[in-house]
Structure 1
Amino acid sequence: MATHLKAAACLWACASTADADGPARIASADLCADAYVLALADREDIAAVSWQAGQIVSGAPEWVIGLPRASGDAERLVALDPDLVVFGPSGAGRAAPFLDAAGIAHIALGWGEDWAVIESNLETLGDALGQSPRAATLVSELRDRREALRQRSDARPRRPSVFYLSVTGGAAGAETLVDAAIRTAGGINAAAEAGASGWLRADAEWAFRVDPDLIVTSYFVDGYVTRTDAGVRHSAFRRLLDGRPRLDVPAPAWSCAGPQLIDAAEQIADALDRLEPGS
C-alpha cells in the first residue's frame, strides 16, 4: 500500500514543472478526501471540494460552501481543470483514464481504519501537495494527543466497557475506526471483547449480549438520511440505552478514517472520565 501511494504522489511531483511548491488547483472528489485536503492544502489552492461538503456529515468549514463541487464524474472533474484530483480510498475508478488523457494528476488515499493509515495518508498527500512540513506537524500533533489520552487512561482505576451503536442498529467490532477511537480513549470495545470484528449489521441480540459502562452512538441526530433506524426505534436497543451513560459523537469526527478521528477519541475519553466518582 505504501509503495502504491508513493508512486501516486509522484504523479504530481514528478510530472509537473509549473509550480515547484505543489499544485495550485486541487479538487477533492469525496468526503474522505475533503478531510485530508482541508487539513493540508492552502485555502487559495483548493479549487473544488466534494459534493458532500456542507452536508451534516461533513466537517468542512463554512468558507467552502461557495466553492465548486466535485465527484467521481470524469466530465465534471475535467471541466474543473484542476492540477490534482484527490480521491478517497475508493480511488478514481472509471474517471482515471479520462483524467490521464487530460493530463490531470490524481491520487487516492490508502484504505484502512487505524492511526497508521491516517498518518501514512497525511504524509503521502503532504508530499503530493508540497506540504510535507505541515503533514509532519499534524502527524506529530496526533501522536501527542494520543499520548495524552494514554496517560489519562493510565490514571483511571479501570478500563470501562464501551459499546458503539449506530442509528441503523449496527455495531463496530475490532479493526474498525470506532474500535481504534475507543481503545485510544482508554475503553474496552464491548463488541470486540465479545469476539466481533469489522462493521456489524443491525442485530438486536447485542442489547442482551453486552453490559457496557458507556454507550457511544453516532448519526442519531446528525447523520445520513435513512429509513433504517433500528438503533433509535427497536425496543431492545431502547432498553440498552435507557438509564445508561451515553455519548453521541458528531458524525464528522468519523465519517471516514481521517485526522478528525482523534476528536472522537478525546470525546470518548471525556465521557469515560465522567464515569468515575467525583468527576
Structure 2
Amino acid sequence: MSACVSATASLLLAPQGLAQEAAPHAGVASASLCADAYVLAVVPMESISALSWQVDQPVSVAPSWSRGLPKAWPDAARLLELAPALTVFATGEAGRTGRLLERSGQTVFELVWADDFDAVRGNLRALGAATGQAEAADAVIADIDARLAEMVRRAEARARTPRIAYLSVSGGSAGAGTYIDTAIVAAGGINVVAENGAVGWTRSDPEFALTLEADIVLTSFFIDGYASTFNRARRHAAYRRLLDHPERAEIPAGLWPCAGPRLVDAAELIADAIDAWEDGA
C-alpha cells in the first residue's frame, strides 16, 4: 500500500463539481477485478468513478448499476485520463504505473494479498481509512464476522464432516494456506487436498484426479471463467469423474477471484452444499 493513501476524504468523496474546484482529481477507481469487490463493499456508489474492465464480464458479480461506469485497467495513460483521486490496485499491480500516477497527483492504494479472513479484514480497514469510510468498512467486517459465526453454528449442528475437493477449470486445486481452504474450513468441511499434504495452489495432475476421493467436489470458473488453452479440466478425461460427481457444487467465479469481501458468500454456498449432502445421506 502506498504511503500516499492519507489523502483527505473531502477530496476523495466530495461531489464531483466541488472536488474539481479543489483539485483535478476526484472519486475512487478500481483497476482490477479483485479491487472491484473491495471498492464496491466500502465506497459509496456516488464516489466510485471507475471500475475494472472486467466488471461487465461473466466472471464479475458486480451489481448491474456498476456495469455502466467508465472502465479502468492498470495502465498509466488510461488512469491519467480518468483522473481519480485514488486508484485501487490488486496485490502487485501498481508498480511503475502507480509511481507515475503518484507523480501526477493521484493517490495509489494497493491491496495486500489475502489467504484468510484476517487479511480480508485488514484490507477493508485500510481501504476504509484511505477513503474516509472507516465506519462502512467496520460494518462490512461485522457482517462477515456474524456470517462466519452462523456457519460455525451450522457446522456444530451436523452429524458428519464432509471431505471436500476443489477443482479449477485449469485442472489445479488448492491445498492448505489458500483462500479456498479458508472457505472450505469456514463452511465446516475438510479440504481433502490439504489432507493429502498439498500446500498452496496445485497444478493440473490427471493422475491425482483419478485417485481423488471426496464427499463433495467444488468447481469454479467452468461456467463464468475465461476461455483458455490451459483449461485442461474441460477436456481431459481424467477429470470427468470429478465433474460428474453427484455432489458437485459450482461456485461463481466472481465470489473469489481473490480473497475479498465476497469470500464469505462462497463459504456460505459451500455450507449449503454440505447441508444438502448431509440431508441426502
CA separation in 2, counterparts of 1:257 and 1:266?
14
Match for residue 275 of structure 2 among 269, 273, 276: 273
Deviation of 1:277 (Å): 3.8
Mapped to 2, the partners of 1:243 and 1:100 lie a distance apart of 50
Q: Does 1:134 find its partner at 2:130? A: no
AA paired with 1:144?
Answer: A
Greater alpha carbon shift after TM alignment, 16-25 vs 117-126:
16-25
- What CA deviation, in whole Å up to 9, does each residue of 1:236-266 have, x standing for no partner? 2112333431000011111111111111100
Alpha-carbon distance between aligned partners in 1 of 2:244 and 2:134, rounded to the nearest angstrom: 47
- Aligned length in residues: 272
Mind listing any 5+ residue stretches in structure 2 that lack a counterpart? 20-25
- Where does residue 124 of structure 1 map in the other structure? 126
Within 2, Cα distance between the matches of 1:20 and 1:47?
10
1:17 Cα deviation (Å)?
Answer: 6.5
**2:74 matched to which residue of 1?**
72
Q: 1:153 and 1:206 mapped to 2: Cα distance?
A: 29
Once residues 12 and 166 of structure 2 are traced to their aligned partners in structure 1, the CA distance between those partners, rounded to angstroms, is 46
TM-score (norm 2): 0.91
Note closer, same or farther for the CA distance 1:51–1:159 as it changes in structure 2 (3 Å cut): same
Q: CA deviation at 1:209?
A: 3.5
Task: Give the corresponding residue for 2:153.
Answer: 151
1:208-243 alpha-carbon deviations (Å, 9 max, x no partner): 342100000001111112123322222221123334
Q: Tell me how far apart the structure 1 counterparts of residues 27 and 280 of structure 2 sit (CA, whole Å).
A: 53
Partner of 1:191: 193
**Cα 1:242–1:17 shift into 2, 3 Å:** closer
For residue 141 of structure 2, what is the amino acid of its counterpart?
V
Aligned position for 1:215: 217
The sequence identity of aligned pairs, in percent, is: 46
Change (3 A) 1:62 1:239: same
Cα deviation, residue 8, structure 1:
4.9
Q: TM-score, normalised by structure 1?
A: 0.91
Q: Distance in 2 between matches of 1:81 and 1:270?
A: 43
Question: Hey, what does 1:97 align to over in structure 2?
Answer: 99
Contact 1:21 1:129 in 2 (8 A): no
Determine whether 1:106 maps to 2:108. Answer: yes
Task: List gaps (5 residues or longer) in structure 1.
Answer: none
What residue number does 1:9 align with?
A: 5
For residues 243 and 70 of structure 1, do their structure 2 counterparts lie closer, same or farther at Cα, with a shift above 3 Å needed? closer
CA contact (8 A) 2:11 2:85 kept: no
Contact 1:187 1:272 in 2 (8 A): yes
User: Does the CA contact (< 8 Å) of 1:111 and 1:117 recur in 2?
Assistant: yes
CA spacing shift, 1:142–1:19, aligned 2, 3 Å:
closer
Higher mean C-alpha deviation, range 239-248 or range 154-163: 239-248
Q: CA deviation at 1:65?
A: 2.2
